Structure 1
């Protein structure tokens, strides 16, 4: 008997675990596998609905009593750099951008380890070895690029972004940089450069992952003009970050079945839970 994968993706929910962004809270994720035909369309469609990619999985926060994590993107047309961001761009204009296929290298992993050890030694990726790093970069069934930033005088790898190409923009899946160069604001620079890449490619958005009010390590995303967040099923411009908070409420999220029923899939495929 022949068995085939279901046409519609299956959605699952993770068990609650400690939140990595807000102390004392628990997180839960709604997720589905990125597999089969039409994965590029599925990734683009779900990204437009607040999902993020991790290797061959798409996920979205679905906490029972907290909705602090909001998917964020920059509207390229509405973006205008601040004076500080213009200085950051000029400070790094010597860096050479190289966009390559998703292939892990020893130089990448060495920089990645230095970044984690200095910036996120207690994070969930702190113990990632070279094989797990290679899987993060290379196990992608969709259009993905590794965007490297090279210092031409030394040919040294300075910063890296793992970036997906969506129907309507670029998604910065994960980025890291030389932790010994804090004065260069390399994290901000990579976002600014991706806005330029998107503009050159006539793509309207740059997806940044999740913005979490109240989380220091995620708060920098509110510094970019043209920022939009996905709230209650629609993208909302962030005109004043202070209007958003990390309040908890037992009714702040719809039940899982309702969330899944409201997900729009390519070609009108019906989701299954």
Structure 2
């Protein structure tokens, strides 16, 4: 019996979609009372699941399949000219893994980031309780990555390290450092780290065609999308089929 057969799954009730106006969303998630280990989560990530706090989930919407899992096969990845400039621009940063624990400095940066960049999002207004629940839930396979300039904290990334890759859960950064493109640099650093660790992929969560906040995920090429229960590789931007074709109508 495979390890995930012992898990229980639930489907949430329909609720307004956070990404597509006018759409109703529902979610398939693992029973949060069951502790999911790294082997189980690695297998679930191959099926398009994602982690947020203590919840491991996958979109399960009846009328929409716009959320598509995306990962970067790191050995095939080649940075674009713009990405090489971002790497060059940030070569003066000191980057290190740190344990998953509360630090006042981390929360202060997170609060600034949410207040200045995401006042229209679900995480506004920020709070210590929200921060702990979202970013400091100890899964047993999660760590934080700090990005510093001569000691000054510029960015923090939450990353899950699994046997099949790194899962980039969330990144927050100094909103006044626009020129550095810190969010993109954090992804590039995790791709390089996965290469050094001998891991095959970096998982970037879900991509939605037409959603501006998620458009950056297709910049890391080639990328793979989880479509029709298989991972498919694309060297260029993916164009989804018409909705009738997606749902087989």
- TM-score normalized by structure 2? 0.92
In structure 2, relative to structure 1, the CA distance for the partners of 1:184 and 1:38 (3 Å cut) is closer
- What's the CA shift string for 1:209-255, capped at 9, x where partnerless? 1111110000111111121111110111123324226x5459728xx
Q: CA deviation at 1:124?
A: 0.6
How much does 1:136 deviate?
2.2
Q: Partners in 2 of 1:69 and 1:37 — Cα distance?
A: 26
Residue number in structure 2 paired with 1:252: 247
Residue of structure 2 in register with 1:44 after alignment: 42
Q: What is residue 210 of structure 1 aligned with on the other side?
A: 206
| SS of alignment partner, residue 98 of structure 1 | strand
The question of whether the paired residues in 2 share the 8 Å contact of 1:65 and 1:248 is answered with no
| Aligned-pair CA distance for 1:122 | 1.1
CA separation of 1:126 and 1:250: change in aligned 2, threshold 3 A: farther
Match of 1:137 in 2: 135
Aligned partners of 2:238, 2:160: CA distance in 1, in Å?
Answer: 30
**Could you tell me which residue of structure 2 aligns to residue 230 of structure 1?**
226
CA distance in 2, matches of 1:241, 1:19: 24
Give the TM-score, by structure 1 length. 0.85
Look up the SS of the partner of 1:77 in the other structure: coil
Name which of 97, 100, 103 aligns with 1:99: 97
Is the radius of gyration larger for structure 1 or structure 2? Answer: 1
Give the equivalent residue in structure 1 for 2:9. 11
Give the match's secondary structure for 2:51.
strand
Q: Deviations over 1:78-120 (max 9, x none)?
A: 1000011000001011111120111121111111111111111
Q: Give the root-mean-square deviation of aligned CA atoms.
A: 1.9
**Structure 1 alignment gaps of length 5 or more:** 1-5, 254-273
Distance 1:7 1:237, change over 3 A: closer
